[in-house]
Amino acid sequence: MTNTRTTARPVLGRVLVAAGLLAPVLQVLGSWAAESTRLVVLLGAFGAAWPYWFALCALCAAGVRRLDVRRGVRETVTVLCAAGAVLLLFFRLVLFDVFSGGWEETQRIAAPGGGDRSVRIEQGSAMIDPLWRVSVVDGSGLTARSHLVASYDGNTGFHAVAWDGPDRLLVTDDGGTTTITLDPADGEPHRTIGTG
């Protein structure tokens, strides 16, 4: 008679390894879907790749520990996965803000006339240089979409953004004021300003 616990360990190990290997694939597909749809909920869930690579390391290490493989293989894979997880945590806790900009929403201005449209201003930094992002958020809840309007690095300073009607923005920077027209249906800008 086969021991159920002994049989369940390799099955659980295979499931954990498979889930770990699928995590980065899920992030790539989710990131593609987020960019295609511009849904805020998907942009938030799949915007950073590091949690999915951390899941790969953790799940594969846990899964290999339960598989019926040679001890040397188990230990090697576990050490490699643990090293990968530590490096990912180091990157997230120490270096992430340097490379990602450390974005923080500083202002949100609702469109005139009510509705579910607003302009969002985010500020970050690249080392010591300031960064700015201006985007339009259209809709609310799970159907909210975000469209980038302008991005600036430290060389060209962002000053302000204001509504000029429900479908027009006035973006002011060091070079003057630019009018951005938005699609009335979904708030997507007809053009963007980009220096960063």
Kindly indicate the confidence band of residue 37, based on its pLDDT and cuts at 50, 70 and 90.
Answer: confident
pTM for this entry: 0.71
Orientation angle between helical segments 71-90 and 50-66, nearest 10 degrees: 160
Across the range 20-35, mean pLDDT stands at 92
Chain centroid to Cα 174, Å, comes to 29
What is the rounded CA–CA span in Å between residue 69 and residue 48?
33
Region of 19 (left: φ > 0; alpha: ψ -120 to 50; beta: rest) is alpha
pLDDT of 196 higher than 70: no
Decide if pLDDT at 4 tops 80: no
146 has pLDDT over 50? yes
Give the pLDDT mean for 160-187. 90
Determine the Cα–Cα distance for residues 103 and 108; give it in Å rounded to an integer: 14
The more confidently predicted of residues 4 and 10 is: 10
High-pLDDT (> 70) share of the chain, %: 88
Average pLDDT, the chain: 84
Which has the higher per-residue pLDDT, 196 or 128? 128
